[in-house]
Amino acid sequence: MTDKPIVVGHDGSESASRATAWAAAEAVRKGVSLVIVRCCPPVQADVPHLVPLPRSFDEALVEQAKSELQAAWEVTSAAAPTISVSTVFTRAQPVRALVEQSSLAQLIVLGSRGIGGVTGMFIGSTAVALAAHGRCPTAVVRSGTPNTGPVVLGVHDSLGAEAIEFAFDAAQRRDVPLLAVHTWQDRTLATGFSPVPYVVDADVVTAAGHKLIDETLAPVVDRYPGVAVHRVVVRERPALALIEQSKHAQLVVVGSHGRHAFSGAVLGSTSHALLHHAECPVVIARNPV
């Protein structure tokens, strides 16, 4: 694995503090450094009829942001003394700053909620942008996450090698099993009268799912002989199956086909559902393009 640092975005919120603690623990497991990034873009006061904000207000925001960043560094350095912890303060927008940092990092970590408990700043545009344009996996850390359980990997026929590698490495470093989950659904044939379900032999489909898992993991599994792999093939929508597994997992890993667009569709419905409803941290590993 790479010795590049882990980078965590911090906005002063409790969610960001939890994400920073998780990122520090991950850095300790991997024996790499941690970089805490605080973005404080200039206040925009160009809305018509608004009185321009005084420079002192912007200076106060900068001072507060730097103070919170320093506090985050102190807490993290004390909690993880075996690794190097550094900080980056920037006036750039979070998306731009973290996408740039992703080219130097092995993992970008974000909290699930921004300041004031408003979901959107990180789970929304920033996470989507990183999945589309980032050059390393992105982790979103939700609150109340379990510390035990397996690493769960969502498996499909186009899953990229980066997601597989990340999941196996995470399972090995945690000394837990890897739960490879593949899902399938009934299909219907549209007729002139009503939808007619295809006749599906569940045993045949399940066997094919196990085969797909084995073939997908084959290039990696031999390099992680200490990781026990459990296979789950279930008749369910992918998002619902993975959310259910997240209740008893400490990490869920999925792939992403970033298409260089700041569009919600780039993550797909499964990744979006996981970011909002999973009960453990979620890692989205973008396929190289």
pLDDT in tens, the chain (289 residues): 579 999 999 999 888 999 999 999 999 999 999 999 999 998 765 545 456 656 688 889 999 999 999 999 999 999 999 999 999 999 999 989 999 999 999 999 998 876 544 344 445 567 667 767 788 999 999 766 667 899 999 999 889 999 999 999 999 999 999 999 999 987 645 555 556 556 678 889 999 999 999 999 999 999 999 999 999 999 999 999 999 999 999 999 999 754 433 333 345 678 878 888 899 999 999 765 5
Contact assessment for residue 97 and residue 110, using Cβ atoms and an 8 Å cutoff: no
| Domains contained in the chain, CATH given | 6-46+53-141 (3.40.50.620), 151-278 (3.40.50.12370)
